[in-house]
Amino acid sequence: MSTEQERDPEDRQIRCLVAKVGLDGHDRGAHVIARAFRDAGFEVIYSGLHRSPDEVVQAAVQEDVDVLGISILSGAHNTLVPKIMDGLREYGALEDTLVLVGGIVPDDDKDTLREQGVAEIFGPGASMSEMIEYVRTNAPER
């Protein structure tokens, strides 16, 4: 019907969850990312500090985000990320959520994370515009 108001897929609103997980109190990076994503026109939900994997999953599922950005600077990514991925799978949210990890991740671990379904890992020095472009290009089609 012509009166159906449909949005142009080009200007689809991208929703992101920026999550801090585990016992890691460093959120400057997450704040900077949240702000940059906002300025890029994304809707950003910020989880707050010290979230458990379950909470991150709950937020990602309920908010139906396109992109989940997990910030981990504690080195516990090998423990926490799989738990989040399992949770997303449980709710059927794994296939169409773009999962990114930001933080200090040794090269050896990067492949493991990718195998678990993490799309990309951004370390220190990653450029903001590069990340935004990555999200725009790779945000799942729905």
Partner 1 sequence: MTAGDAESEPESGSDAPAEAEGSADQSAIDRLVEGVLAGEHRALARTITKIENRAPGYRDLVAALHAHTGNADVLGVTGSPGAGKSTLVDKLAKAYRDHGLTVGVIAIDPASPYTGGAVLGDRIRMASNVGDMDVFFRSMSARGTLGGLSTATTDAVTALDAFGKDKVIVETVGAGQNEIDIVRTADTVAVLVPPGSGDDVQMLKAGILEIADLFVVNKADLEGADRTVQELREMLHMGSGTSTGGHHAASTNVAGSTRERNPDEDDAESAEWDPRIVETVANTGEGVDDLVEALEAHREYLVASGELDRQARERYAAEIRTLLREDVHELLAEEIDNRGGLDAAVDRVVARETDPYTVADEVIAPVADCVRKRRDGD
Cα within 13 Å of Cα(11), Cβ side: 4
**Ramachandran area for residue 97 (φ above 0: left; ψ -120 to 50: alpha; else beta):** beta
Candidate list 64, 86, 111, 133; residue touching partner 1; CB under 8 A? 64
Q: Decide if residue 28 touches partner 1 (CB under 8 A).
A: no
Quote the CA–CA distance of 73 and 88 in Å, as a whole number: 22
Round to whole Å and give the CA distance between 60 and 82: 15
| 95 touches partner 1 by CB under 8 A | no
Kindly tell me which of 55 and 109 has the beta carbon lying closer to partner 1: 55
Q: What CA–CA distance (Å, rounded) separates 95 from 76?
A: 24
- Interface stretch with partner 1, choices 21-29, 31-39, 106-114, 116-124 (CB under 8 A): 31-39
Is residue 91 close enough to count as binding partner 1 by CB under 8 A?
yes
Binding-site ranges for partner 1 (CB under 8 A)? 2-9, 12-13, 15, 34-35, 37-48, 51-52, 54-55, 58-59, 61-64, 91-93, 141-142
